[in-house]
Amino acid sequence: MLFRSNPAALVTPRLDAGLGPLQGLFAQALARAGQLYDAIPGAVLDHGVMQLARQPKDADRFARIAASDLFEASALDLADAESVARWTGEKVAGPALAQHAARVVRPAAILEAWLADVRLETVSSISPTGEGLALMGPSGAELWRGDMVAVCAGSGARALIPDAPLQPVRGQISIAPGRSVRAAAWGGYAASSPEGLVFGATHDRDDAGDDLRPSDHRRNLQTLGEGLPRLAREVETAALTGRASVRVVTPDRLPMAGPAPGGAPGLFVLTGLGSRGFCLAPLLAEHVAAQILGAPSPLPTQMADLLDPDRFRRRAMRRTGQAAVEP
Ligand SMILES: Cc1cc2nc3c(=O)[nH]c(=O)nc-3n(C[C@H](O)[C@H](O)[C@H](O)COP(=O)(O)OP(=O)(O)OC[C@H]3O[C@@H](n4cnc5c(N)ncnc54)[C@H](O)[C@@H]3O)c2cc1C
């Protein structure tokens, strides 16, 4: 296998009771991601995720979102206590939103299907050549040159595009071999995979370590106990394995998808996917590809504006009362 990945990932939208362009973006991204993953043999482990309440205002939030027409018909609906108990195998307090259009996917199957033919190299820097851009390797040797470069390197974008305001957020999942549950999310999450029950995950800002920490398994068990206490009791003595890796977020917690900030002409970026990469990445990759090709984007302007990598510079200029000038 070429790439390291978690045994399972949830494809779920961020939920925003404001029901504005942000919720529209996630609804469109969820539909596109589901369509593409369903076409990959072995990629979809299960359909549906039960979103459990985390705070009192979730009752109203879930009801507003379920009643809206932003998502495809039958994508989500409110779940009563009985169906939550059937789904999770335990009695859970509070309202819940059944996300029928969400999925549990196997990242390795997606990576193998989409990235089987890529050339793997570490890029240390990107330099303008006068006519285009060159990718430089760790030894200083030129790896490739061309007119257009799209940096889709997760937290690696921090070094390649220093003007992008990106923050690393370490996360660790825990895996209990031989255990399973139908997928549920509540801030924490739990899902089944061929390797066992995957649950977690930790969030630690400004930590880019990918070492496995026993203390983080304990935190994940505590988080599991907040959503699914019976399951947490069942796995607390299991020999847990896991995996740690690093997310990357922007100051407004929305991705960057478009021309790179402060970058040379022809330099594009797709990063800042936070905890929703499996929902957002397919649609946003098509958005960036359309910009590179000068073709119409699948995203309406209002949604594309939310993701414009230059927005932080423009906001800073407005705050200091300066007119925003083109770089
Ligand atoms: C514990 C944990 C659990 C998560 N669970 C979920 C989940 O259930 N659902 C979900 O949607 N999201 C989840 N996420 C978030 C998800 O992993 C990210 O949103 C997603 O991986 C971001 O995709 P990306 O392609 O931008 O970056 P990455 O997945 O980080 O991929 C970047 C790639 O670029 C390569 N790269 C980096 N720098 C360079 C360089 N200089 N040169 C060459 N290559 C480079 C890397 O090796 C890597 O292959 C989770 C994250 C963590 C940490």
Residues near ligand 1 (Cβ within 6 A)? 3, 6, 9-10, 122-123, 152-154, 156, 160, 171-173, 200-201, 245, 247, 271, 273-279, 281
- Is the pLDDT at 140 greater than 60, yes or no? yes
For the residues 277-284, what does the mean pLDDT come to?
A: 98
Cα→Cα distances 207→31, 174, 192, 241, Å: 32, 18, 27, 20
Helix residue ranges per DSSP H, the chain: 21-38, 58-67, 81-88, 107-115, 157-160, 214-227, 229-235, 277-293, 301-307, 311-319
- Is the pLDDT at 245 greater than 70, yes or no? yes
pLDDT tier for residue 324 given thresholds of 50, 70 and 90: low
CA of 264 to the centre of ligand 1 (A): 24
For the residues 111-131, what does the mean pLDDT come to?
A: 93
CA of 196 to the centre of ligand 1 (A): 21
CA of 201 to the centre of ligand 1 (A): 14
Q: Which atom of ligand 1 is nearest to the CA of 271?
A: 26
pLDDT, the chain, mean: 94
**For ligand 1, atom 7, which residue shows the shortest CA distance?**
9
How far apart (Å, rounded) are the C-alpha atoms in residues 14 and 30?
10
pLDDT tier for residue 1 given thresholds of 50, 70 and 90: very low
Are the C-beta atoms of residues 75 and 30 closer than 8 Å to each other?
A: yes
* pLDDT tens-place string over residues 75-108: 999 999 999 999 999 999 889 999 999 999 999 9
Q: Which atom of ligand 1 is nearest to the CA of 159?
A: 41
Domain topology for 9-111+167-249:
D-Amino Acid Oxidase; Chain A, domain 2 (3.30.9)
Spell out the domain ranges in the chain. 9-111+167-249, 134-166+251-319
**For ligand 1, atom 53, which residue shows the shortest CA distance?**
171
Residues 6+ away with beta carbon under 8 Å from 18: none
Q: Does domain 134-166+251-319 have CATH number 3.30.420.40?
A: no
